[in-house]
Chains A and B, each alone.
Chain A
Amino acid sequence: MAKELLEGNVAFAEAAVRFGLRAYFGYPITPQSEALEHLSKRMIEEGRVFLQAESELAAINMVYGAACTGVRVMTSTSGPGFSLMEEGFSYIAGSEVPAVIVNMMRGGPGLGNIQPSQGDYFLMTKSAGHGDFHPIVLAPASIQELIDMVGLAFELAEKYRTLVFIAGDGSLGQMMESAELPPMQDLPKERPAWAITGAKGRESKFITSLYLGAENLEAVNLRLQAKLAEIRENEIRWQEYETEDAELLLIAYGIVGRICISALREARNAGLKVGLLRPQTLWPLAEERMAELARQVRGILVAEMSAGQLLEDVQRAVAAKTSVHFYGRLGGVVPMADEIVDKLRELDEETH
């Protein structure tokens, strides 16, 4: 496949079609509606299921229903819609069915605005619904990575029978750059053995998240926790840039991680030995690697489009082994590379 100029929302939508998306249920919300629009055409062309639901609440429950029958299914939304979907996330987690959700984050709280934000980090990694569970959260920093992560998201969702979130933001959804789409995959002919398909030639079965009796539900929870431990063991992903000799470490994800690559170059040109750790999974997070690097560097700067959400996890991970500073912009303001460099200079002076 050749590279082509693609908008983020269209790119992930088309990638999903090519990775074997069988059904999409969604509700329009800026800044990701182009994905829904693209799929309204493409899914019908491919003879697959597209449905514009009456709300995000209905959309996620349609996803839940389709997921119970063992097909690749997804929805996409932004903050306010994501909040509405939390009920469904919890049921999907409790029922252990695979589903993929793209969240192109926008400024909040409330209606907020439609500018890019990373304010849903807590929501996605820690509180995606009632009860004890964590979805896998992937954080792409470019349209190519967004495309690739759609495929990864389906694989992980099916491997672990879990929810997978793709944490994008308004800028990633709206921007255009050149990227390569995957080739068209065939849809699987068979459904997985656990799927609800009608009791033909076998005992009838059901999928539920209801377990009466405290001991029963505790046993289910312990099994879920064991699965999460396995995910922690196997699925932590991150990228490092010039960390070998780094004395100062930047930590940032998504589009801010990408801005930090520019900041890193600028800072290196100015003689600062800066490295960057860019988490590609927000849950599970590269906490051990952060702790290792914390022993090597004089200080860490976490940069986010939030008031400091990833920051709390970094602080916990490095456990006061080094000084952790923060630079965040809020309300849809995107931090500039030179602002981050200024902060690195301050960190450099304070830790000399």
Chain B
Amino acid sequence: MATEIRIPEGMELVYEYPESLAKKDTHYCPGCTHGIVHRLIAEALDDLGVRERTIGIAPVGCSVLAYYYFNVDFVEAAHGRAPAMATGIKRVNPDKIVFTYQGDGDLAAIGTGEIIHAANRGELITTIFINNAIYGMTGGQMAPTTLPGMVTTSTPTGRNCALAGYPIRMSEILAQTEGAVYVTREATTDLASIRKTKKAIKRAFKVQVEGLGFSCVEVVSTCPTNWNLDPWEAMEWAKENMTEYFLLGTYKMTDEVKALKV
């Protein structure tokens, strides 16, 4: 459990625990970037003052227990179905801020249909998509976003695209849908990219607060445990390899979204 912070006399608190984040230790591996992204979401919800009207949808994957780590209401979806559940929630509760938190297996393999149609309908929800190119929870198997040649427990000699197909670029696909108004691919590979990701997540939620359309932030992340790298090496590997195939940048931003002050 996080301990309470005592501020020594004469000092000022400049950085604190976000209210939208539960004061709990996570089960994530050392060096995992889920914790970073959780915090960025919590900060965005705090900044926008929407914590008390937010409903999150947890995925199946390493972040299946995300509902323990946020101090907001949550539901737990079946694998890949978070956008459908989010649709059901948002349609009957249009005043709520509804977001899905999904990994690459969840969003880009088993749940491809649900995310594309939710985006295309312009559901007023926000999706945070963690792309670390691997199935973490089940033990390091190939993900839809596993890079060509990348060794996983189900591609032991490296991903052979002739057999296993190619890594799928979801942000590019989602950006093609009429209903999506903001689609961006960010990263958590260094401080600068994390700060940029924070801004993108806040913008994505702001899009929803303003009712502009579907918003999605893909976050290129790491999995030191299943990549068999230490956390620092994993960051470097992601920068050198992941962002070569998954180019960072904003794939869709309508004028209305551009005009938002974030």
How far does the alpha carbon of A23 sit from the alpha carbon of B88 in the complex, in Å?
A: 8
Check: B150 CB closer than 8 A to any chain A CB.
no
Query: If A57-B81, A204-B74 touch, does A65 touch B88 (CB 8 Å cutoff)?
Result: yes
Interchain CB contact under 8 A, A66 and B76: no
A25 to B91, CA, bound (A): 10
Q: List 25 A-B contacts (CB under 8 A).
A: A23-B88, A53-B84, A57-B81, A57-B84, A58-B113, A58-B114, A61-B114, A63-B88, A64-B88, A65-B84, A65-B88, A66-B88, A68-B75, A69-B93, A196-B73, A196-B89, A198-B96, A199-B51, A199-B52, A199-B72, A204-B71, A206-B58, A207-B76, A208-B74, A208-B76
In the docked arrangement, what's the CA distance between A22 and B92, Å? 8
Binary per-residue interface labels of chain B (66-104) against chain A in the complex, 1 for a CB within 8 Å, 0 otherwise: 011011111111100100111111011100100000000
Q: A25–B244 Cα gap in the complex (Å)? A: 41
Determine if A196 and B74 form an interchain contact, defined as CB atoms under 8 angstroms apart: yes
Known: A58-B117, A62-B84. A69 touches B70 (CB 8 A): no
Q: Which 10 A-B pairs have CB atoms at the shortest separation, nearest pair first?
A: A65-B88, A65-B85, A61-B84, A62-B88, A208-B76, A206-B74, A66-B88, A206-B67, A61-B81, A200-B52
CB distance from B78 to the nearest CB of A (A): 5
Asked if A108 is an interface residue, CB under 8 A from chain B, the answer is no
B53 within 8 A of A: yes
A87 CA / B110 CA spacing, docked (Å): 13
Contact A61:B71 (CB < 8 A) given known A91-B78, A198-B96: no
**Neighbouring B residues of A88 by C-beta, 8 Å:** 78, 81
Whether, in the assembled complex, A209 has its beta carbon less than 8 Å from a beta carbon of chain B, the answer is: yes
Q: Is A176 an interface residue (CB 8 A)?
A: no
Interface residues on A, range: 35 or more
Could you say which residues of chain B place their CB within 8 Å of the CB of A292?
none
Is B89 in contact with A210, judged by CB distance below 8 angstroms? no
- The count of chain B contact residues (Cβ–Cβ below 8 Å) is 35
Most buried by B among A67, A200, A206: A206
Contact in complex: A196, B55 (CB < 8 Å): yes
The verdict on B124 contacting chain A, using a C-beta distance below 8 Å, is no
The residue among A95, A199, A209 with the most chain B CB atoms within 10 A of its own CB is: A199
B66 shortest CB reach to chain A, Å: 9
Interchain CB contact under 8 A, B76 and A204: no
Q: Which residues on A sit within 8 Å (CB–CB) of B64?
A: 210
Q: Which of A22, A196, A207 has the most CB of B within 10 A?
A: A196
Q: Which A residues are CB-close (under 8 A) to B86?
A: 65
Q: Which residue of B lies closest to A55 (CB)?
A: B113
Q: A residues within 8 A CB of B57?
A: 65
Chain A residue contacts of B114, Cβ below 8 A: 54, 57-58, 61
B94 — nearest CB in chain A belongs to which residue? A49
In the bound complex, do residue B92 and residue A198 qualify as a contact, i.e. CB atoms below 8 Å apart?
A: no
Least CB distance from B100 to A in Å reads: 10
CA distance A73 to B93 in the complex (A): 13
Q: In the complex, which residue of chain A has the Cβ closest to the Cβ of B54?
A: A198
Whether A351 sits at the interface, judged by CB under 8 Å, is no
Asked if B22 is at the interface (CB within 8 A of a chain A CB), the reply is yes
A160–chain B nearest beta-carbon distance, Å: 20
| B85 touching A64, Cβ below 8 Å | yes
In the complex formed, the residue of B with least CB distance to A63 is: B88
Contacts of A65 in B (CB 8 A): 57, 75, 77, 84-89
Contacts of B58 in A (CB 8 A): 206, 208
Q: How far is the CA of A199 from the CA of B76 in the complex (A)?
A: 16
Specify which of A53, A62, A198, A208 is in contact with B52 (CB 8 Å cutoff): A198
- Which one of B76, B78, B85 contacts A62 once the chains associate, using CB atoms below 8 Å? B85
New A-B pairs, 20, CB < 8 Å, besides A61-B85, A62-B91, A68-B75: A23-B91, A57-B113, A57-B114, A58-B114, A63-B88, A64-B81, A68-B85, A69-B55, A69-B92, A69-B93, A196-B73, A199-B51, A199-B54, A200-B53, A204-B22, A204-B72, A204-B73, A206-B73, A208-B58, A208-B74
B208 to chain A, nearest CB (A): 14
- Given A61-B78, A61-B114, A198-B73: A23 in contact with B53 (beta carbons within 8 A): no
Closest to B51 in A: A199
Instruction: Give the contacting residue for A49; candidates B73, B78, B84, B92; CB below 8 A.
Output: B92
Q: Which residue of A lies closest to B82 (CB)?
A: A61
Q: Mark A79-113, 1 if CB is under 8 A from B, else 0.
A: 00000000110010001000000000000000000
